[in-house]
Amino acid sequence: MAVIQFIEGIDENVIPSIKLTRSRDGSTGTATFRFNQPDIIKPEMQDKGDIKGMYLKDEEGLILTTDVNAKFINGKPQGIECIYIIKNPLEWDRFMRFMERYANNNNLSFTKA
């Protein structure tokens, strides 16, 4: 089961839009996750703990990014944007395996730009 969490142990149910870019040689890349009105910013979640990162969890383990930013409109949190930097081909392959599992769990499809 592949899940995304902002606080360990609490799965995020809102599906993000994910933009993926890759360097020309394929060795590095960037994944940008945008969550619109995610569960984690709801008022009842405030006492669950602080967001320390975005955790991508599956049977292989954990991928973590701490590049997490809240988006505010009129002073109220509306969304969260997270950036995961993929530094080498091994990380790229690992990330794509997670994404495949996550997509299968959530009936998502991939569209090329």
- Does any domain span residue 112? no
- Does any domain span residue 111? no
Give the pTM. Answer: 0.92
- Does any domain span residue 18? yes
Instruction: Provide the domain limits for residue 43.
Output: 3-105
- Does any domain span residue 48? yes
- Does any domain span residue 35? yes
Answer whether 40's CB lies under 8 Å from 5's CB: no
Structural domains counted in the chain: 1
Please write the tens of the pLDDT for every residue from 65-87. 999 999 999 988 899 999 999 99
Q: Provide the CATH number for the domain around residue 77.
A: 2.40.30.220
- Does any domain span residue 110? no
Please write the tens of the pLDDT for every residue from 25-38. 988 999 999 999 99
Instruction: Please provide the DSSP assignment of 4-73 as one string.
Output: EEEETTEE--SPPEEEEEE-TTSS-EEEEEEEES-GGGSGGGGGG-----EEEEETTEEEEE--EEEEEE
- Does any domain span residue 41? yes
- Does any domain span residue 90? yes
